[in-house]
Amino acid sequence: KLSTAVPDKTRFRPFYGYMAISYTTTETVGSLVGERESELGGWGAEYTLYVAKTEEEAKEFSDYDPSEKSHRLLLWGADTAVPGLVLRYLHYFKETTDLTDDEIEAANSEREQLTKLDGTRTALEQVNKAGVPGLGQIEYW
């Protein structure tokens, strides 16, 4: 379970979303995109993401409620032996785009902070404190 908000739309960050993957096959088994209202709610929308093998599992072991508008569900599928979750940000950060110097600096700063994520809660907390939008806190259930 992860509660946060889709980042606000910027010219330097055209994409934000999740992939549910199988580590065994490297297959993408599901995805949700931030800017789509039907998926994560659109730019700036608050959401709580639940990731599980099945919807039944999410309902049984967490407070997931499909009638709650901010609850979003991403499924690995019952047959995914070693599941993984990937949060994707796409950035434009080169001078070859039509971005302003301030936008390039903001993109590079955000990207630099994201490179500090190493899978630990400590790194997540530090990057959250640095102000990178869209990360939130992870709760296991």
CA dihedral sign, ordered 75, 80, 119, 26 = negative
pLDDT of res. 94: 74
**Residue 2 contacts by C-beta under 8 Å, 6 or more apart in sequence?**
48, 49, 51, 136, 137, 138, 139
Neighbours of 64 (CB within 10 A): 20
CB 16 within 8 A of CB 88: yes
Burial classification of residue 67, based on how many CB atoms lie within 10 Å of its CB (0-12 exposed, 13-18 middle, 19 or more buried): exposed
pLDDT of res. 140: 84
CA dihedral sign, ordered 42, 12, 27, 83 = negative
- Total-model pTM: 0.89
Bridge partner residues of 3 (DSSP): 48, 137
Q: What tens-digit pLDDT sequence spans the chain (141 residues)? A: 999 999 999 999 999 999 999 999 989 999 999 999 999 999 999 999 999 999 999 999 999 999 999 999 999 999 999 999 999 999 987 767 789 999 999 999 999 999 999 989 899 999 999 999 999 888 887
pLDDT of res. 97: 79
pLDDT of res. 98: 87
